[in-house]
Structure 1
Amino acid sequence: MPVLILLLGTTFIWALLLVCNRIALTAFDVDVYAMTCWQLVFGGLALVLLAPGRPIPWRQFTLPINWAYGILRVLTGVSWTAALVYISAPESGILSQTGMPMAALAATFILGRAPGKSEWLGHGILIIGAAWLAWHLPGGLLNPAVLLMLSSEVTAISSSVLAEKHPDNQIKDAWSHLRFTGVLLLITASVFLILPPLIGFISPVPIPYTSMDGFFGMETMLAGLILGATLRGPAMVLSLRSIKTAGIEKYILATSILPFILLGLEMLAAKFDLTPAPAHDSVFWVSALLVMLGIIQITLSKRRHAKRIKALALSPTATA
């Protein structure tokens, strides 16, 4: 049960951050790129400075694996945030479901944890749900949001694999783990500052605001400070802990309920005129239904697969 609470809490914090990002984009004069960078800076500083008197882990700033993780997180965050310019937060949550089949493939071929055969049916349903929504967006599959969200999921799964394998993510001391997470956030922020031209080159579509023009805008910095210290930092801590505790497959499965949490939060934000009122048509609801069916199928398959493995482990032939 504690693992389930951890996974659901992580998903809720990310959903809250995404909706707050959309509020910042639609209701205030903020710079998409700079706001994301400031979130990382302030979130990272808050985590590193949480334990006064403890030495700052300078060594971790020199590890190539941490910089690789930072680059992947930059591409993930910028792609998803930029997608919110074209679609609503719940729609981005639907498109993000393409990450779950990617996680299953990564677990199979990289981590050596193949899912049960019936689980692939659930992944197929998820893909159909995401594709149905993408097909009906303006421009169809060539809508910038589709390409941005696919890029976001590829880099998100890649960074999750790195996080699960990362030796420093196995730290049991809570304060040390907070500081490790803070270092990752600060490295990611550094990548934001150093590599804007590379990000623009790699991106499948033009990403707005990858220049430094609006970097020091007051509203942008304030949004970065508030969201970074209160949401971005905690979200990263919980994500790394979830991946370590449950593995990337269960972590991604837990995030599959993101569209539904986003829908509720965005409707609440619209009541206070913070975001445009969501006006989802039948296409969205069909996609959401398919996503829910896929989630149910994957969850049931994982339970059956776990019981089968446990039964085999306890069988006389297995222990002989």
Structure 2
Amino acid sequence: MMRIFVTGTAGFIGFHLARLLLAEGHQVAGFDGMTDYYDIRLKERRHAMLLENPAFSATLAMLEDDAALSSAVAGFAPDVIVHLAAQAGVRYSLENPRAYLDANVIGTFTVMEAARRLGVQHLLMASTSSVYGANTEMPFIETEKADTQLTIYAATKKANESMAHAWAHIHDLPITMFRFFTVYGPWGRPDLALYKFVDAILDGRPIDIYNHGEMWRDFTYVDDLVRAIRLLIDAAPQRPEDGVVPEGDSLSPVAPWRVVNIGNSDKVRLLDFVDAIEDCLGQKAIRNYMGMQTGDVPATWANADLLKTLTGYRPQTDFRDGIARFVEWYREYSGK
């Protein structure tokens, strides 16, 4: 049994990870700012479900609140910290970039400081496939250069990776960064494409399809994602004694730091994704075809070989099955 501190437990991914950890019998302390980026009632429902388990406790405060975060971490004394809380959303970062600097840079530094002070066994932190930016060589692999971010959201996440590397090097703190690829599933965020599409189609409203549907995404089902995170908890990086890194490993030659892709290793065309939603709902969408949006990329596709090497696991849920599970949840949650 481990004591695991998770930031963002009222959020989509944090909720699913906490539920998995609790099911395994671990003690989990959650931390969430309950921001109103989307309907806070959804966040409250997630937290209420977690709080039904006596092994779960929660602190409601902002990441940037150093005193609150430090007190919560020190009081719980975790073995491991998993940092998932962030200001999410590629498109919203075009409207309110300052929110990303506050939450994703200052907030992440606060988490890193708390982890350093306590000397946790392993700090794991979320990054994003968006850090690959304008890269065109696919599938994306962790060892390739990623210096061409296209949004402030992606830039803050790349900054987190660099900050974490410095922290791991200076303080010998094992840190794993993971890059998520288009996560979807039950209890998902209302600003995510699947949620928006299903909600609009059932209401008879049009859906916006960017780049006329000629976009590809590596859709990763949330249960697969949190299973990968759980397995990575047990795969803490170690500083190479001789500076030699195995081929294909993103491990730093000078720090106990590594970045790992978590994706389905398959790219799906957006139009095929919409077709699958229509098939599942038994209802056609009113399609509003649009051009490419600023900051967006035409394709993402993960090479997940390193995840498989480290954990023996690879996400594999077919997007049609994942959509069906989401729709089942959505109908029950919304009553539609």
Using structure 2 for the length normalisation, give the TM-score. Answer: 0.28
Using structure 1 for the length normalisation, give the TM-score. Answer: 0.30
Asked which structure has the greater RCO (Cα within 8 Å, sep 6+), the reply is 1
Q: Name the structure where strand makes up a greater proportion of residues.
A: 2
